[in-house]
């Protein structure tokens, strides 16, 4: 008998038929004799409907009231899931975030979990009940309902797995697991059996979109082993865990492409201390998420600052830079939206040299031009022309033999 936390996302519980299917899965696990805590999201589409109604009554809804509103989405799902389990003879009980003792800070719409009082859940588990918990929500010390922001239900599941000392945490989603590359782009992409937290973190932040980084960070911090798998089939998924020695034998674990990128060039910046600081302070104050940063010194003590931002934030970046341009030399700002970022990730890079050289040579052989380069201990990222991004992914996938286990 193991103690298992399962999490089902919005598409997995999208309507009453899917909820009944999820109940069958839960029952199958329960019938194997395991203790079960199940975290569910709002039915897919519900959160957007609620937000649309909020915007219809008020242009800028208060975050406290948004949390009050959005928390109803998961509350509906937990009740329906518990009922569906009752309908097939499984003893189950639903918990709101507050009832599950998920205490957060007071930052509405993106609260952080502070502590979890898992005693009530432990008691229900002992009596054989399946415990269904609303994902994405908690309560603060003032008794106010809070929500955890994007990917909040994954976070609920992983935090609960740590709190109840679960043997296993299963994140059910609409993909089979984590792949060596996007299978729609790279035909022979392969599902990974295992991946380290650090690799998952780099892939999560690089547009592979399986999970938000902070859930993975939380899992890493509390050493929660979890599995990403599909609720639409019974294939084994990808297990995400602490790095172990054999993982380093694999130099590159996967290739990710992010097409939601814009490249911003601030030209003719005075090449003296404080210029770059002024630029990035202005961007930070405007809540622009800057990713890769490259600086080239040009002629006559003038430099070009180049960086990437999400496409949706490019216009805001330009506006934010306008007031500081004069102070840094009066250069121009240009935006290139027709770019993509390609990254190769693997903890093996720490101990293997020549990975960058191999990648660059392969791309050169294919006639693909590299625009920007940025590297970290376990990742090499390049910016290139959007039209060549998919081809570059296939080249990188092939040169590192990612189709072979």
Residues near its own copies (CB under 8 A) are 16, 19-20, 23, 50, 53-54, 56-59, 61-62, 64-66, 68-69, 71-72, 75-76, 78-84, 86-87, 93-94, 96, 99, 143, 145
Contact 305/297 with Cβ under 8 angstroms?
A: no
In whole angstroms, the minimum distance from the beta carbon of 68 to its own copies comes to 4
φ/ψ of 129, rounded to 5, equals -80, 145
Q: Which lies closer to its own copies via its Cβ, residue 59 or residue 285?
A: 59
Name the strand (E) or helix (H) holding 321. helix 314-321
Q: Which lies closer to its own copies via its Cβ, residue 43 or residue 263?
A: 43
Q: Which lies closer to its own copies via its Cβ, residue 24 or residue 260?
A: 24
In whole angstroms, the minimum distance from the beta carbon of 79 to its own copies comes to 4
In whole angstroms, the minimum distance from the beta carbon of 84 to its own copies comes to 4
In whole angstroms, the minimum distance from the beta carbon of 172 to its own copies comes to 18
Place of tokens 């506006």: 319
The first and second tokens of residue 387, run together, are 């039209």
Q: Which lies closer to its own copies via its Cβ, residue 56 or residue 357?
A: 56
In whole angstroms, the minimum distance from the beta carbon of 270 to its own copies comes to 46
Q: Which lies closer to its own copies via its Cβ, residue 17 or residue 377?
A: 17
Q: Which lies closer to its own copies via its Cβ, residue 93 or residue 340?
A: 93
Q: Which lies closer to its own copies via its Cβ, residue 49 or residue 260?
A: 49
Place of tokens 């035909």: 187
Strands (E), 136-292: 137-139, 145-147, 168-173, 194-196, 226-230, 238-241, 254-270
Per DSSP, the three-state class of 188 is: coil
CA–CA gap between residue 350 and residue 253 (Å, rounded): 13
CA–CA gap between residue 103 and residue 114 (Å, rounded): 6
Strands of the sheet with 92-95, listed across from one edge: 92-95, 130-134, 35-40, 3-8, 168-173, 226-230, 238-241, 194-196
Q: Which lies closer to its own copies via its Cβ, residue 62 or residue 401?
A: 62
In whole angstroms, the minimum distance from the beta carbon of 26 to its own copies comes to 13
Q: Which lies closer to its own copies via its Cβ, residue 46 or residue 159?
A: 46
Q: What is the DSSP string of 9-36?
A: -TTTTSSHHHHHHHHHHHHHHHHTT-EE
Residues near 255 by beta carbon (within 8 Å), at least 6 away in sequence: 180, 181, 186, 342, 343, 344, 345, 393, 396, 397, 400, 402
Contact 155/113 with Cβ under 8 angstroms?
A: yes
Per DSSP bridges, beta strands 102-104 and 238-241 are: unpaired
CA–CA gap between residue 239 and residue 193 (Å, rounded): 6
In whole angstroms, the minimum distance from the beta carbon of 331 to its own copies comes to 42
User: In angstroms, what CA-CA distances link 31 with 24, 87, 88?
Assistant: 10, 15, 12
In whole angstroms, the minimum distance from the beta carbon of 229 to its own copies comes to 23
Q: Is 264 left (phi over 0), alpha (psi -120 to 50) or beta?
A: beta
In whole angstroms, the minimum distance from the beta carbon of 113 to its own copies comes to 19
Q: Which lies closer to its own copies via its Cβ, residue 94 or residue 180?
A: 94
In whole angstroms, the minimum distance from the beta carbon of 127 to its own copies comes to 14
């Amino acid at each position: 008998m193991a103690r298992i936390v399962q999490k089902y996302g919005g598409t997995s519980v999208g309507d009453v038929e899917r909820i009944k299917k999820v109940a069958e899965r839960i029952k199958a696990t329960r019938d194997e004799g395991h203790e079960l805590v199940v975290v569910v999201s709002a039915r897919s589409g519900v959160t957007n409907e609620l937000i649309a109604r909020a915007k219809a009554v008020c242009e800028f809804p208060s975050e406290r009231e948004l949390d009050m509103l959005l928390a109803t989405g998961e509350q509906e799902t937990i009740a329906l899931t518990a009922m569906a389990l009752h309908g097939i003879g499984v003893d189950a009980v639903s918990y709101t975030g507050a009832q599950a003792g998920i205490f957060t800070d007071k930052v509405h719409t993106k609260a952080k979990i502070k502590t979890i009082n898992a005693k009530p859940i432990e008691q229900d588990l002992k009596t054989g009940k399946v415990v269904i918990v609303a994902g994405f929500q908690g309560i603060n010390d003032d008794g106010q309902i809070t929500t955890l922001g994007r990917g909040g239900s994954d976070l609920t599941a992983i935090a609960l797995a740590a709190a109840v000392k679960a043997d296993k945490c299963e994140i059910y989603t609409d993909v089979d697991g984590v792949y060596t590359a996007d299978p729609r782009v790279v035909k022979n992409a392969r599902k990974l059996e295992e991946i380290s937290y650090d690799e998952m973190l780099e892939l999560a932040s690089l547009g592979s979109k399986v999970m938000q980084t902070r859930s993975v960070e939380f899992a890493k911090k509390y050493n929660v082993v979890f599995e990403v798998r599909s609720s639409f089939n019974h294939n084994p998924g990808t297990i995400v865990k602490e790095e172990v020695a054999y993982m380093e034998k694999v130099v590159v674990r996967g290739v990710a492409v992010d097409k939601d990128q814009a490249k911003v060039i601030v030209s003719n910046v005075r090449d003296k201390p404080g210029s770059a600081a002024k630029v990035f302070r202005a961007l930070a104050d405007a809540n622009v998420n800057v990713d890769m940063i490259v600086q080239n010194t040009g002629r006559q003590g003038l430099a070009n600052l180049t960086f990437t931002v999400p496409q949706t934030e490019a216009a805001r970046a330009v506006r934010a830079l306008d007031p500081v341009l004069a102070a840094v030399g009066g250069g121009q700002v240009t935006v290139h939206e027709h770019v993509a970022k390609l990254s190769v990730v693997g903890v093996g890079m720490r101990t293997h040299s020549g990975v960058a050289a191999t990648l660059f040579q392969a791309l050169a052989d294919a006639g693909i031009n590299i625009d920007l380069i940025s590297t970290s201990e376990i990742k090499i990222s390049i910016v290139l022309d959007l039209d060549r991004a998919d081809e570059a992914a296939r080249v990188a996938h092939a040169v590192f033999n990612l189709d072979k286990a």
